[in-house]
Chain A
């Protein structure tokens, strides 16, 4: 093993070293905190029920997750262009999705769509989520339905 040849004798004093380490730690932690806060501001996605989309005045173009039930009889398909209505019992929003919907997408069942509200007030989804367990409804959807008094687990809903 080779020893480093020139270890500088006149290095920092002990105080300076300690100060250097503390400053270094501070810089990294500050950067990390800044990073986390920026990411939290820009990368988090709010989850809204159709009622909340209307009541909170969600801006067109803002990325959100829309959750609720797919309204019975509302699903229309033309090739891969899908249109369906997301409802929480009180408010309905028309959603568009281009692509193949997940397996467990069903009318009358819970759905979470990622995307943004368009200029005409309908929802453009770029991703539709469904889980593989038929009993499973996203917790957010359950909460949204409970808030609207539409949660009826005894009726096999959803």
Chain B
């Protein structure tokens, strides 16, 4: 019964969204009365989709196999948490989660955006509802999650074992919150284009939504990377897989958008570009979601392989993205430009940031789509792998990282490069010193490693240079420094912390790439192996039954160079329902470094064991967490909470800071 209720709620939500879309986009001039109706509609859509989603959750949690989706993707022996996360571990359910987050963001704008000008609000809600109607319709007509089976099976077919992990409970919701959050920026951009009005108040509205989505996307990508690292058992954390690229491109574009919206908010410049980026970012999110889901790419993320679905998705995408760009082409000239500035200024630095990030998006896009296009057009199959991306992406990121610390130190409008360079001299000296120190201690295996280290240290120290300078540390009493630090605006803190996180991630990447060690060997219980000063002894091998799998478990003891020992269990699981095997790697953490052990298949009675030592690998994800933390810190800024949404009357020339 609850299934039918959920189905009905989804249909009703789509119908309401369709009406809202028409009302909002056609009668946007109708003012506050329409805004009130649209706000209620947005809240109602959220409630209805939530009901639909909960109906699915209930069916999965109670193992109701009369629901085709549950029968195909669930199993009664699964732990409850995996039953629930299994709701979105399939094409139909993940679409519904996507729509749930879409309406959640719409409802948030309705709840917090009542002070928006009515025209803008109506257009934003109209566009948002159009998206709900399009994807809700797609779900209903091609991927109905509520289909029943006439003869329910006694047991479900189970979920892909790789997905039976806590990662599935966290990674997709975070990633989707990021992807879908950019829909708000998209809707704001469409609203700006249709109404022809765009100003600093617009940017002040768009930036927190960008920041929120970007924060979620950062967390989602980092979580996905760590999940792949520990679950797939290959020891890698990033593969330049098309699926990863699909989430990385919106992240890059979103990062560019954050920075260009900053220019627009402060200086009323870069309007057209910011609108363009808003559209691009969400378009890349859409492309990402549906490239992954359409079955064009083969991966663990691919659930749908029904070609008609792929075609419908492509049509919807073409209509939405094409429509947005058509609107952009027709209306962009109506947006007036403002805010002049010299090439060397904070605006100039942020433009360079955007230039490199946008070019990087282009490079990744080419590398991701070129094989697909070539295959579709000529039938030639090629693989564009890590070397392509490392070369192009690396070459584009190096100059970006080099100029990054200068940006926050340059004043708006026009700046003195030499003065900024002088303030960074300390950070540069420290970075060079540490690079030489580490390089001489660590021994070099790749010639680019010192350059990478230098960039990482430079970004990390350079980004906190301003904070330290403002505290006048060393020049005034320590308590005075602390008082000054506490008084710094949050925007300065979040900039410094975000960039610091990026620097740490770069350091982690360089360290693992340059100094990782690997040992693949065969071991029997009782034997030992060595790697980078760590000794591994294979204690015993046994079979242990799990809730819905059988596990071959190897017990290992790792002895660190310092003498401490850690007991580890590495498993090979075979799942009962599907017969599919997975490996569970054993990981021991030493500070920021990890020792990674994977138990391979037995060959002729002995066991293949793969060992990796990954120095400072945790910095990669810690850096990402710090970046996300900076995003949250920025969202708590007082500016955003107090009196923000006030339309700037006449563009008053602000004095340079």
- The chain A residues found within 8 Å of chain B, CB to CB, are 1-7, 11-12, 14, 17, 20-21, 24-25, 28-29, 32, 35-36, 39-40, 43-47, 65, 99-100, 103, 132-136, 138-140, 143
Q: Is the CB of A40 within 8 A of B384?
A: yes
- Does B359 reach chain A (CB closer than 8 Å)? yes
Q: Is the CB of A44 within 8 A of B416?
A: no
Q: Is the CB of A39 within 8 A of B391?
A: yes
Q: Is the CB of B381 within 8 A of A143?
A: yes
Which residues of B have CB within 8 Å of A136? 298
Q: Is the CB of A32 within 8 A of B232?
A: no
**What are 22 of the A-B contact pairs (CB < 8 Å)?**
A3-B411, A4-B415, A7-B414, A12-B343, A17-B343, A25-B355, A28-B359, A29-B359, A32-B359, A35-B363, A36-B366, A39-B391, A40-B388, A43-B385, A100-B522, A100-B608, A103-B583, A103-B600, A103-B608, A132-B233, A138-B298, A143-B381
Q: Is the CB of B411 within 8 A of A133?
A: no
Which residues of A have CB within 8 Å of B162? 132-133
Contact with A along B305-349 (1 / 0, CB 8 A): 000000000000000000000000000000000001011000000
- Say which one of B2-10, B29-37, B212-220, B574-582 lies at the interface with A: B574-582
A139 CA to B359 CA in the complex, in Å?
A: 30
Which residues of B have CB within 8 Å of A4? 411, 415-416, 419
A9 CA to B362 CA in the complex, in Å?
A: 38
Q: Is the CB of B392 within 8 A of A39?
A: yes
A18 CA to B298 CA in the complex, in Å?
A: 46
- Does B562 reach chain A (CB closer than 8 Å)? no
Q: Is the CB of B384 within 8 A of A99?
A: no
- Does B370 reach chain A (CB closer than 8 Å)? yes
A143 CA to B363 CA in the complex, in Å?
A: 28
Which residues of B have CB within 8 Å of A132? 162, 232-233, 581-583
By Cβ-Cβ distance, the 3 closest A-B pairs, closest first, are: A4-B416, A47-B381, A43-B388
Q: Is the CB of B419 within 8 A of A135?
A: no
Min distance, Cβ B597 to any Cβ of chain A, angstroms: 15
Q: Which of B376-401 contact A (CB under 8 A)?
A: 380-385, 387-388, 391-392, 395-396
Which residues of A have CB within 8 Å of B363? 32, 35-36
A147 CA to B476 CA in the complex, in Å?
A: 77
Which residues of A have CB within 8 Å of B581? 103, 132, 134
Q: Is the CB of B384 within 8 A of A1?
A: no
Which residues of B have CB within 8 Å of A7? 414, 416
Max chain B C-beta neighbours (<10 A), residue from A45, A47, A103, A136: A103
Q: Is the CB of B385 within 8 A of A45?
A: yes
Which residues of A have CB within 8 Å of B232? 132
A118 CA to B416 CA in the complex, in Å?
A: 59
A103 CA to B609 CA in the complex, in Å?
A: 11
Identify the closest chain A residue to B416 (Cβ): A4
Which residues of B have CB within 8 Å of A25? 355
Supply 12 further A-B pairs (C-beta < 8 A) apart from A1-B411, A132-B233, A135-B580: A14-B340, A20-B343, A29-B359, A32-B359, A35-B392, A35-B396, A39-B388, A39-B392, A44-B385, A45-B382, A46-B383, A133-B162
Max chain A C-beta neighbours (<10 A), residue from B383, B395, B416, B579: B383
Identify the closest chain A residue to B420 (Cβ): A4
A6 CA to B362 CA in the complex, in Å?
A: 38
Q: Is the CB of B580 within 8 A of A5?
A: no
Q: Which of B547-601 contact A (CB under 8 A)?
A: 579-583, 600-601
A7 CA to B384 CA in the complex, in Å?
A: 48
Q: Is the CB of B342 within 8 A of A17?
A: yes
- Does B657 reach chain A (CB closer than 8 Å)? yes
